[in-house]
Structure 1
């Protein structure tokens, strides 16, 4: 399988993975053998519009997983599945929003959110966080070509507008289908969200969408 038969994105994946394998001390024969294992799958998947990154995750992490010793086999590479990362960010937002708003409401200083508003805002902001990761943060790791500053600023502006729209639209949800939450209910929901996030992160080792790819 020749590299010229791959798309530019897939060629970049192989290039970055090869450099990482060289850094990790793999011999030419070992690198050739490892790449020959995945090249057919990458070639078949690209016919369906699926990239090598979607199949194997970040190239540096795929390469690193091939040089793990028996002692560190237990630690999985970070999972960058978009749906899991969105869910992880959303649960984090629900936990933060619930704890902060619940605590402030105990002293009569917080905003009164309805249940549907609470969920819409949490998952909406979570989607915005993943949007920033996809267009900015994942391109800021070591050895990566950083996005142009105007693209980063535009992504931030779009995310900010989207977040504002989410808060505005969520506030229009009728009270008849949007029961209010007491301070204790806010805190309880936040605790559940934090617990679910912890368990999912422990099981799937989900990448934090608010950090650049290392």
Structure 2
């Protein structure tokens, strides 16, 4: 038993040495491109993943060359392999099963999804907020003008705000980086959007009570909970990131 253990240990050491030599040999093939050590490691791991995932051998060189070119361009801008591609495993899957890119269609789809998502969460916030306010301070219900607490005003502010902020979000984080506006312009759009939304909120508060009824506090709370639950379902189904969750779309 004592002789078998050293034998196994030696075999393990030889295996590790062979793997190290293979790694160095493979890594040296990528060292002539001017990549950083981390980027070389990424390409090495990507090459392993392409083999593991069964990508055709004749397609791998072109994939590796394209990746190296993007890494070299990214190095000049201080971008890391992870920020460009994610993990080697994830990127290998993308290379194996590429999805057709249509920035315009993606933007339009994103706008619709974000508008629904943002409108639902705005509606949830306002209805839940007013419901709690009315429960804690019943005297508020005695005001003659319902203003922004009326259900019509809440719906208008939520829907228009949802569409408006969806547009702003896409300007701040465009799907197609080539069409990105200058930072100063994006900040200006954000400021104007906030001012416009505030104006809409103020105008909605002037709606007459007859078309802007105020509902029971518990009804508002129930509406808020339903809208929040519906938004969670919508987000999970369509993988949407909205006003209370940063967008995490990775761009190439």
Q: TM-score range by the shorter chain?
A: 0.5 to 0.7
Residues 1:29 and 2:59 aligned together: yes
Give the Cα–Cα distance (whole angstroms) in 1 for the partners of residues 223 and 91 of structure 2: 37
- C-alpha distance in 2 between matches for 1:96 and 1:29: 51
Rate the CA distance shift 1:115–1:32 in 2: closer, same or farther, 3 A: farther
- How far apart are the structure 2 equivalents of 1:28 and 1:138? 35
Alignment correspondent of 1:100: 129
**TM-score normalized by structure 1?**
0.58
Q: What is the deviation of 1:91? A: 0.6
Cross-structure match for 1:164: 198
Partner of 1:48: none
The match for 1:90 is 119
Q: Which runs of no fewer than 5 residues in structure 1 stay unpaired?
A: 1-21, 34-58, 69-77
Greater helix proportion: 2
> Which residue of the other structure, out of 73, 89, 93, is the alignment partner of 1:67?
93
Q: Looking at CA atoms only, which structure, 1 or 2, has the larger radius of gyration?
A: 2
CA RMSD of aligned residues (A): 3.9
8 Å CA contact 1:133–1:211 kept in 2: the answer is no
Contact 1:137 1:211 in 2 (8 A): no
Q: Which of 163, 185, 188 is equivalent to 2:219?
A: 185
Aligned to 1:194: 228
Distance change >3 Å, CA 31–CA 154, structure 1 → 2: farther
Shift of 1:190: 0.5
Number of aligned residue pairs: give it. Answer: 156
Equivalence for 1:126: 162
8 Å CA contact 2:171, 2:180 repeated in 1:
no
| Deviations 1:102-131, CA, capped at 9 Å, x for gaps | 112212287951111111111122122212
Structure 2: give runs of 5+ residues left out of the alignment: 1-42, 51-56, 64-83, 95-105
